[in-house]
Amino acid sequence: MFFPFVFWGDNMKLWNGRRYYSLDCYLKETFGEKLYKLSLNGGMTCPNRDGKISMGGCIFCSEGGSGEFSAPCTDISQQIDYAKSLVQDKFNGDKYIAYFQAYTNTYAPVEYLRELFMPVIQRDDIAVLSVATRPDCLENDKIQLISELARIKPVWIELGLQTMHQKTADFINRGYPLECYETAVKNLKQAGAEIITHIIVGLPYESREDMLQTAQYVGQFTDGIKIQLLHVLKNTRLAELYENGLFETLNEYEYISLVADMISVLPENVVIHRLTGDGDKNLLISPKWSGDKRRILNLINHEMKVRNIYQGIFIDKDFHV
């Protein structure tokens, strides 16, 4: 039997040896085993790219729209088989998470989405359907579809919030107000979906306090969180700003210290799906130190151990930057 919570010392809480509630811990607790994500492309674009809201996407977004690692084919069954073949040497399980990652995966008529998602969630080898999208692309008919899907198997909806601060949201060309996120969260919870919120650490001109406020804000709403280091990628508007010396990316210690603080103000039940990210090495301009993901994760855990903090320790206390 799996026991996710272990108590150690003076009320020190560990989650399967970590000081935060990791995705790995959640999966073993919920499904009894690790599940591997299969990155899929549903063939959609984004209202921030096709002119409905604007052209070109958010300023940090590459041409691949976060889908650089999805399968190079259009048929979803073939994509699943291809994605499984990529992990067969390091994963011996038989259950997977179908992750529709590229662009905005509810930006299509609901009939198209039904034909796309329903066969996938009904597959025996798929345990979870995970859909990355925008809060402003979740109309009522799509919420109803998500409710139907969630009655079959768990559905995760990943929302790219990035920041709670409207000034920054306007600067990065996010394209929707904060209230839109809150409405989407309310509707998705009523539909039975689990919500994973993406935030970015190191956005231009945000202070340490700004970033901590975003973590505290998201913790009130979300079931899970993905914390992403800002990557400057080639051929983006962000790259132009960086190369013109208009902002700097975080150094390694700044990021590690800040993420540790963010974890400390998140509720204990929020699943931490990611603490850093993999930028395409062929596109990455800065920060170069981010390439060693395992090392960064180990340093975050070490930082929390040295400072004797863990997830949720400051949730009911005043936290001063």
Domains, the chain, ordered by start = 5-307 (3.20.20)
Write the pLDDT tens digit of every residue in 199-256.
999 999 999 999 999 999 999 999 999 999 999 999 999 999 999 999 999 999 999 9
Distances (CA, A) of 275 to 82, 120, 160, 302: 27, 28, 15, 14
User: Quick check: helix, strand or coil at residue 131?
Assistant: strand
Per the structure block, which two tokens stand in for 250? 């975080």
Integer Cα distance of 232 and 285 in angstroms: 5
Tokens of residue 211, six digits: 């970033």
Q: Which residues are 199's β-sheet partners?
A: 162, 227
- Identify the pLDDT of residue 280: 82
Rounded to whole angstroms, how far apart are CA atoms 111 and 113?
A: 5
Dist. CA 123–CA 283, nearest whole Å: 35
DSSP assignment letter at 205: T
DSSP structural state of residue 291: G
**The two structure tokens encoding residue 135:** 């809060």
Radius of gyration of the chain (CA): 19
Beta carbons within 10 angstroms of residue 209's beta carbon: 11
Which pLDDT does position 69 carry in this prediction? 53
Q: What's the mean pLDDT in 19-29?
A: 95
Tell me the CB-side half-sphere exposure of residue 161, using CA atoms within 13 A: 32
CA distance 282 to 284: 6
H helices of 96-163, in order, are: 110-121, 140-150
What pLDDT score was predicted for residue 8? 36
DSSP, collapsed to helix, strand or coil, labels residue 252 as helix
The answer to whether the beta carbons of residues 4 and 30 sit under 8 Å apart is no
Model confidence pLDDT, tens digit, residues 114-159 = 999 999 999 999 999 999 999 999 999 999 999 999 999 999 999 9
* Per-residue confidence band for 15, with pLDDT thresholds at 50, 70 and 90: confident
Q: What 3-state DSSP class applies to 174?
A: coil
% of residues, the chain, pLDDT over 90: 77
Of the two residues 101 and 279, the one the predictor is more confident about is 101
Contact 39, 166 (CB under 8 A): no
Instruction: Output the 3-class SS for 267-289.
Output: CCCCEEEECCCCCCCCCEEECHH
> What is this structure's pTM?
0.91
Q: Quick one: residue 90, left, alpha or beta (phi over 0 = left, psi -120 to 50 = alpha)?
A: alpha
